[in-house]
């Protein structure tokens, strides 16, 4: 098969592209490398450096499907610069759908997010939960999901939206190369903790220690990026014409910020300083996924589900990337 991977120079997209190549598929990556990096695109994939708004220049009837990762992901930034998020995420998805329609490409797997749920009323979170995003980022992803659903109804698209929880870890491909997370600036908890462990930051900050959780800090569901990537390949195989399937992807187990920091200290062997600050606006106390639908429909089950394994793999990549 031949697939277009938008955003394939990013963290998750590049790992999915790698697994597609390892499965014997042809891969074309569409990425302007504004937040991704060309060196992340796996050997064997063709890189087209352009925005997803120009997908029509790349897509033709030779493609069997699209995996759509392109977009902006920082929830905090989305509240300060909403216009660029609506343009990159929602308008970008509109342009991609139009290009797929024109090229008669009928299969889509979309990188969605748990941010569409906002502050959940029940945990674990199921796909039927109320969608009430608290950030512009979450709203742009939800609107993209809704646009995809309309496309499915009107034009018979076969689509799957995968709503990720907190993605961590790294993937070592068959040639021994590590692929992992390396944003600039970094906004995710585990790489930031690695910065503290390696001396790139003076200390690590935890926001809020008075939440209604066992240790007072926020609880999040972490999923290994390789388990997540494998779900995309299963989603491609499961996509059905005229159906928009939606799956939450997480471990179904929550880990607190204090647990994450303790694990990073144990894995790195560094007891770096930690300070506690006030809560951040909009941070829910607990976000944990129910992934039962994905397990039942896709036959998917995370196999790298221990926090130690996730942090260890992420640290392995971190050291390689900054050697």
| Active-site amino acid positions | 137
Q: Using DSSP, state whether 166 is helix, strand or coil.
A: strand
Handedness of CA 177, 181, 186, 189 (dihedral sign): negative
Residue 14 CA to residue 16 CA, distance in Å, equals: 5
Burial-class residue 122 by CB neighbours within 10 Å (0-12, 13-18, 19+).
exposed
Residue 79 CA to residue 75 CA, distance in Å, equals: 7
Residue 192 CA to residue 207 CA, distance in Å, equals: 13
Residue 100 CA to residue 96 CA, distance in Å, equals: 6
**Which tokens sit at 12?**
């998750």
Burial-class residue 194 by CB neighbours within 10 Å (0-12, 13-18, 19+).
buried
Residue whose structure tokens are 């979170």: 125
Residue 104 CA to residue 151 CA, distance in Å, equals: 12
**Which tokens sit at 89?**
């995420």
Residue 207 CA to residue 231 CA, distance in Å, equals: 32
Listed residue (141, 159, 118) closest to 284, CA to CA: 118
**Which tokens sit at 261?**
């920091």
Residue 61 CA to residue 105 CA, distance in Å, equals: 6
Residue 156: count of CB within 10 angstroms of its CB? 11
């Amino acid at each position: 098969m031949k697939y277009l991977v938008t955003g394939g120079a990013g963290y998750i997209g590049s790992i999915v592209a790698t697994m597609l190549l390892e499965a014997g598929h042809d891969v074309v990556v569409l990425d302007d490398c504004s937040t991704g990096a060309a060196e992340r695109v796996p050997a064997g994939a063709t890189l087209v450096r352009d925005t997803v708004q120009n997908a029509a220049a790349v897509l033709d009837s030779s493609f069997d499907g699209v995996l759509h990762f392109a977009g902006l992901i920082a929830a905090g930034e989305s509240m300060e610069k909403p216009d660029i998020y609506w343009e990159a995420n929602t308008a970008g998805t509109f342009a991609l759908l139009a290009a797929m329609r024109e090229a008669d490409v009928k299969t889509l797997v979309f990188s969605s997010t748990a941010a569409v749920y906002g502050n959940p009323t029940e945990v674990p979170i199921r796909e039927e939960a109320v969608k009430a995003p608290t950030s512009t980022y979450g709203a742009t992803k939800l609107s993209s999901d809704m646009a995809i659903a309309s496309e499915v109804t009107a034009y018979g698209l076969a689509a799957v939206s995968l709503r990720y929880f907190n993605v961590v870890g790294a993937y070592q491909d068959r040639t021994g190369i590590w692929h992992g997370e390396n944003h600039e600036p970094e906004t995710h908890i585990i790489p930031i903790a690695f910065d503290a462990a390696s001396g790139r930051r003076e200390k690590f900050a935890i926001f809020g220690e008075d939440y209604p959780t066992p240790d007072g800090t926020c609880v999040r569901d972490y999923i290994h990026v390789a388990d997540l990537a494998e779900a995309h390949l299963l989603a491609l195989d499961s996509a059905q014409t005229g159906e928009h399937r939606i799956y939450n992807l997480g471990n179904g187990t929550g880990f607190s910020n204090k647990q994450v920091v303790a694990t990073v200290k144990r894995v790195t062997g560094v007891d770096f300083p930690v300070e506690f600050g006030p809560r951040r606006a909009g941070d829910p106390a607990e976000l944990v996924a129910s992934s039962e639908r994905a397990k039942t429909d896709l036959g998917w089950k995370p196999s790298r589900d221990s926090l130690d394994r996730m942090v260890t793999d992420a640290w392995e990549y971190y050291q390689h990337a900054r050697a």
